[in-house]
Amino acid sequence: MKANFLPMALTALLSLSSRLPAAPATELPHEWFVPHETRNGFSLVESESGQVRHFTVAANGSVTVSAPVRTDLANLSGLASGYRAGTTEYLVLSSKTSNGLRLLPVTGSSPLSIQSSDRGPKSAVPLHPPATTSSLLVHATYADNGHSVEMINTPHATPTFGAHFGNLLGLSQLQGLRHPDTNARWAVATYASIPPQLIEFIPLSTTNLTSNSLGNVRPDSKLTTEVRGTDGRTCTLAYLPGSPTVEIFTHKFGPFLDGKATSPALPFAVGSIAALPAGIPNAPDGVIITSHDGRQAAYAGVVNGSSFTIRQTFTTNASRPYAGVLPVPGRGLIQLLGDAHSRRSIEWTYLNHSGTQFATVQSGALADWLPPSGEFATLFWFDKRPLVNSDAQIVALQPRPDWTNGAGAPGTTLSVETYLSPSAGLTNPTNITPATPAGANYVLANQFLPNASVSALADNTALLAPSFRVSPESGSYGEAVTVDVLYDETTLEIYYREDVPAASWQLFGDALTIGYPSDWAFFAKEKASGREGPITTRRYTFTTAPDDLDSDGDGVPDYVEQEFGLDPAGGADSDLDFQSDLEEILAGTDPNDPDSNVAAGSRTPPHLGEGFYLYAQAFNQTTGAASPFNDNGTATTEDDYPGVLLKAHDMRGLALANANVRAITEAPLSGQNGAKLPVTSPLAEREWLILSTPIYFDLGTGSNRPRNGRETYRVLNRPVFPSLAEGNAFVASGDNRAADAAGWVAGMQTAAANYQPISALTRLDPLDNAVAILAEQALFTALQGLPEAATLGVPADIADFTLFGSRPYDSGKTPLDEGMIRALLTAGCDFRDLLTLLDSGVRGSTPIKNLANQIYARHAAVSASNPSMALPLDALRSVLRTGAITDPGASVAIFDEEGNVVGNSTRPNPYNTIGSSLRSNARSAMNTLLGNVPGTKRPVDTWTVVIEPSTTPGHRYHYRRSNGGNLALFVDSFGDRFLLEQGLGLNLGAQFTVTGYLDVDPVAGFDTMEILSIDFVVVPTASDRDSNGNLLDDEWELFFFGELGAHGPYDEHPVTGINYLQYHLSGVDPRSNEVPDLIPDLLPSDIELVWKEAFNAYDIEFTFPDAYLSSFTFEVHSSTDLTGFSGPVNVGGVTSLGGNRHALRISVPQSGLPRNFFQIQVSLAD
């Protein structure tokens, strides 16, 4: 029995092996290798370009290598052989980023392009049940909601789609697996479950597919299928490059059961493994293992599905490491030798088996792959007749040097002409009848009509793909990036998604704001044909922590808004329901749904920096405090005392808030009395807040109403509350956006519950009146020193000026207004530093303190018996200005019974108890403080900057100072970088006029400014012939450069240095080195805002060359807060003033706003 068993077993094994003449593909460092099934050869494919070389080996060991074949499929991600249509065997090439598949005959050079129904085909293998042929199983990585696999039947002819599995967690390493008994084609892949599994895909029919798990597999394993063990079993090997151990899986074929074992460690770390197919003379079944470093390889057998037996080893030197040692079906082995640096294949050695071991037969060198640009196509093959059918698609491109003539259906005779030299030109035409590529039904040559021709302006890869451009490029940035796409909207649609398995494709509309480390994918789809182009990917990382990236400044980081489906640059209230996104996120309502919000009575909106509040309380010179609300022990009745009313105003005298003093119930001030003053109106951080009491008010409980408090003004810098985020202890990891968003929300909910920015009362003391009159005097002195003082309406005498525009006693005086504030700021006045100087000086001066307290106390003591006695504020003004205290009631007229003045009554000055020495010392101290005020002035300048492309990491744009100056960088009052592009959607070439302080910490490589104001903006916009808004006519760009946006209007010609807008207007060919006539700067410059009294409106005056004025259209748009411009707001067109000066008149309503920004939009004239 034993004597008969062995021959029978060998016969069975030989029978099984005869059905497996080839093996699946192997990925090498820079190429893919795959053996052929129908001939003794293999193909080598360059991963980057998709070029293919076919090798054949004759029985005598002679090796033939074909010239490289272009497939126009870059970045190969999968390869297989064995797909058959009749007697023709095809290679199947896949590229997930090129978003396409190619079928290439193993004996041909004309690839057929096919498209799967899902995007991003990573790999495809022949797959079909027994007795069926011509089907593929395609694994797509960019399907909606995960990975997918689908069957495509007869893809070489008319493709039909069969079985489809979608919503998969993730697949990798799809490889073919042939059933040794039935010849059915299965497939094997790793599935990204937890833990990952090795699964079989089993076709039941061309429309039905099932799967089976073989067990857990190490993550990131590579697979080698169709490995035949020494006992006849069929195995799949899973290995990790760099590891010396291999997981061996046995398939349930014949007498063997599914199983798995991990091999003992091999003598070296594995780089790649290829199955040795049956039929190689004298060589038992096994595998060829190439080491991870390429220095050695081994021919081994798989024993009992659990270990290896090494039959032969191969070594090479460091200068020629192995790219791979691989099998040639029916012949022997091929050693591919690479260069020392990259292991890219440059030489080969063929070996056959002598009966004892493999030995060298022949060797040779590999010619270089074709260069990336290659030859441009001269024959254009379409699936339909172009120019007649609008949806005709290019299916193949072929180069036939150097110029071709003719057009027609397959079989049409064309002609070619060869270029000889500049003097000889082209040869006479020679007739050709080119072979027809698969799927082609019409061909165009260069000269397809006597009066019409077509030329390729790019290589085949570019021509076969719809053209679009995603900006910015992948990289690391310092702030959130705004991702936009430049494309032809009339012919293409752009789709995008985050590059994560569960994402779905979305139609691209507005620009995306991204503020979290993430990968993104984009592709273009032709509207007419439905053809989809390559997938372009971007990876954005950030040097700024995710929690600090908040593009719209609404208190919610960009990544949290993205997780909630919000636009990170969309503002604080996405659904416009008057509840902020932050409030709704913390409350658990939907910030994208206006009908989902917090009930009015339940709201506790978090502080967003949109305003502030404070608790104010007024005191006298000792311990008396303003009386709070008092109900006198009963419910609300007429005897209730409302509490002293305190008010808040801005520097212009505009009311901001008022409230009565009452008992405070909120921690940490609970139990104290104060007036809560919430200021929600805009108040710039550089400006002052002014608090005031009534002229007379009560101190104490309010029960006896003593009227012993006196008018007090306090000038203080605008309070700046800490950000609510400062109380959030959560720190985003940057690795998992969903988890980080949930952690941030939880942290903010805790921070909001504990948020209390007020820790003390804001006091109004008698001393504050002294600070107030000094602040008033300092501003008046600064205004008088301005050249435009008269134009601003600054009075000649300070007695006619007031800082307190809402004060009844100052009603006849000129108040500080918006124009004065703006003029002071642009002259370098720093209100915060000025007030800090005065406030600290007053509080540190004993004479000033004593004077203010004594004046306050004296008025409270004797004003009842001295009518019209100067109020404390006016008494302090008098001391500052004259050294004395005037008495408005010193002389009182005496009237008779008929009302006639018959005399005057005089009285002693009620302030005569305040000694002259104190007044003199206090006045001297006050003048000393005022003398130091000019030292708080800061250097100011106005710069004009032009927007340029950035070459600085972390900067989306460069701001170049005009006339070829240095790069500029702007910061805000806190020293944080200020971006001009916020809310503006900048075009390159946009021009800003910016005013600000120069005494800031410089940033290396930049002129640095603390920004005060953006006065004007000049932005090129799109006109009828300028769809991308770059001031270059579309037809002009397409004629000279073949695409829109190839150059910006202010990009310089590499030879002449003249910008392309100047070439455009001059009519000179920009591709030449010819210098056009000198053209001046073609953006408005020397911009001035001029008030026109007669029209009650502003003019914007600017310089622009008269000769080119008619080539452009000018409009003025406006914005009050830079979050978006609208218009036009100019009245009429451009008025010429002579000498290249022109003006645009702004409408009266727009001229009268207290704050407005203007933008000059420049477009090509129709």
Residues 1042-1069 have pLDDT tens digits of 566 667 776 777 667 777 777 776 666 6
Rounded CA gap, 822 and 792, in Å? 10
Q: Could you tell me the pLDDT band of residue 683, with boundaries at 50, 70 and 90?
A: confident
Residue 630 has pLDDT above 80, yes or no: yes
Sheet holding 762-764, edge to edge: 662-663, 673-679, 612-618, 762-764
**Of the candidates 782, 784, 793, 837, which has an alpha carbon nearest to the alpha carbon of residue 818?**
793
Which distant-in-sequence residues (6+ apart) come within 8 Å of 131 by Cβ? none
| Mean pLDDT to the nearest integer, 1088-1107 | 84
Q: Could you tell me the pLDDT band of residue 5, with boundaries at 50, 70 and 90?
A: very low
First to last CA, the chain: 99
Which distant-in-sequence residues (6+ apart) come within 8 Å of 837 by Cβ? 929, 932, 933, 935, 936
Residue 608 has pLDDT above 70, yes or no: no
CB 16 within 8 A of CB 232: yes
Residue 12 has pLDDT above 60, yes or no: no
**Secondary structure (3-state) at 221:** coil
Q: Which residue has the higher pLDDT, 223 or 453?
A: 223
Q: What is the pLDDT of residue 17?
A: 35
Q: How many residues does the chain have?
A: 1166
| Mean pLDDT to the nearest integer, 537-548 | 93
Residue 997 has pLDDT above 50, yes or no: yes
**What type of residue is 527?**
K
Residue 1 has pLDDT above 50, yes or no: no
Q: CA–CA distance from 430 to each of 407, 660, 715 (Å)? A: 15, 101, 94
Q: Could you tell me the pLDDT band of residue 208, with boundaries at 50, 70 and 90?
A: confident
| Mean pLDDT to the nearest integer, 476-482 | 87
DSSP summary character for residue 447: B
Residue 19 has pLDDT above 50, yes or no: no
- Global confidence as pTM: 0.63
Rounded CA gap, 949 and 1048, in Å? 9
Residue 886 has pLDDT above 80, yes or no: yes
Is the alpha carbon torsion for 987, 990, 992, 997 positive or negative?
positive
- In sequence order, what are the beta bridge partners of 35? 42
The least confident of 184-188, 378-382, 836-840, 1030-1034 is 1030-1034
Give residue for tokens 């913390």.
586
Q: What is the pLDDT of residue 14?
A: 31
Is the alpha carbon torsion for 1068, 1073, 1078, 1080 positive or negative?
positive
Q: Could you tell me the pLDDT band of residue 697, with boundaries at 50, 70 and 90?
A: very high
Residue 78 has pLDDT above 60, yes or no: yes
- In sequence order, what are the beta bridge partners of 18? none
Residue 4 has pLDDT above 50, yes or no: no
Q: What is the pLDDT of residue 142?
A: 92
Q: What is the pLDDT of residue 820?
A: 94
Q: Could you tell me the pLDDT band of residue 212, with boundaries at 50, 70 and 90?
A: very high
Residue 1034 has pLDDT above 70, yes or no: no
**What pLDDT, in 10s, does the model give residues 493-506?**
999 999 887 889 99
Residue 373 has pLDDT above 80, yes or no: no
Q: Locate 606 and state its tokens.
A: 């978090």
pLDDT > 70 fraction of the chain, expressed in percent and rounded? 88
**What pLDDT, in 10s, does the model give residues 399-414?**
787 889 999 999 999 9
| Mean pLDDT to the nearest integer, 702-719 | 86
Q: Could you tell me the pLDDT band of residue 871, with boundaries at 50, 70 and 90?
A: very high
C-beta atoms surrounding 833 within 10 Å: 16
Mean pLDDT, the chain, as a whole number?
87
Q: CA–CA distance from 196 to each of 193, 217, 368, 951 (Å)? A: 5, 6, 40, 43
Q: What is the pLDDT of residue 152?
A: 93
Rounded CA gap, 925 and 947, in Å? 50
Q: What is the DSSP string of 334-350?
A: EEEEE-TTT--EEEEEE
Residue 21 has pLDDT above 80, yes or no: no
Identify the burial level of 779 via C-beta atoms within 10 angstroms of its C-beta, where 0-12 means exposed, 13-18 middle and 19 or more buried: buried
CB 815 within 8 A of CB 795: no
Q: Locate 89 and state its tokens.
A: 């065997």
Q: What is the pLDDT of residue 3?
A: 30
Q: In 875-1006, at which residue ranges do the beta strands (DSSP E only) sit?
A: 891-895, 901-906, 940-949, 957-961, 967-971, 977-978, 991-997
Residue 429 has pLDDT above 60, yes or no: yes
pLDDT > 90 fraction of the chain, expressed in percent and rounded? 54
Residue 368 has pLDDT above 80, yes or no: yes
**What type of residue is 681?**
S
Q: What is the pLDDT of residue 739?
A: 95
Q: Could you tell me the pLDDT band of residue 9, with boundaries at 50, 70 and 90?
A: very low
Q: What is the pLDDT of residue 511?
A: 85
**What pLDDT, in 10s, does the model give residues 635-663?**
666 668 899 999 999 999 999 999 999 99
Which run of H or of E encompasses 512? strand 512-514
DSSP summary character for residue 1052: B
**Of the candidates 658, 655, 660, 657, which has an alpha carbon nearest to the alpha carbon of residue 674?**
660
Q: Could you give all domains of the chain from N- to C-terminal order, each with its CATH number?
A: 17-365 (2.130.10.10), 379-459 (no CATH), 554-597+735-755 (no CATH), 612-725+757-842 (no CATH), 863-936 (no CATH), 1085-1164 (2.60.40)
Residue 1020 has pLDDT above 60, yes or no: no
Rounded CA gap, 290 and 272, in Å? 5
Residue 519 has pLDDT above 60, yes or no: yes
Residue 901 has pLDDT above 80, yes or no: no
| Mean pLDDT to the nearest integer, 525-535 | 86
| Mean pLDDT to the nearest integer, 960-975 | 86
**What pLDDT, in 10s, does the model give residues 719-742?**
988 878 888 999 999 999 999 999
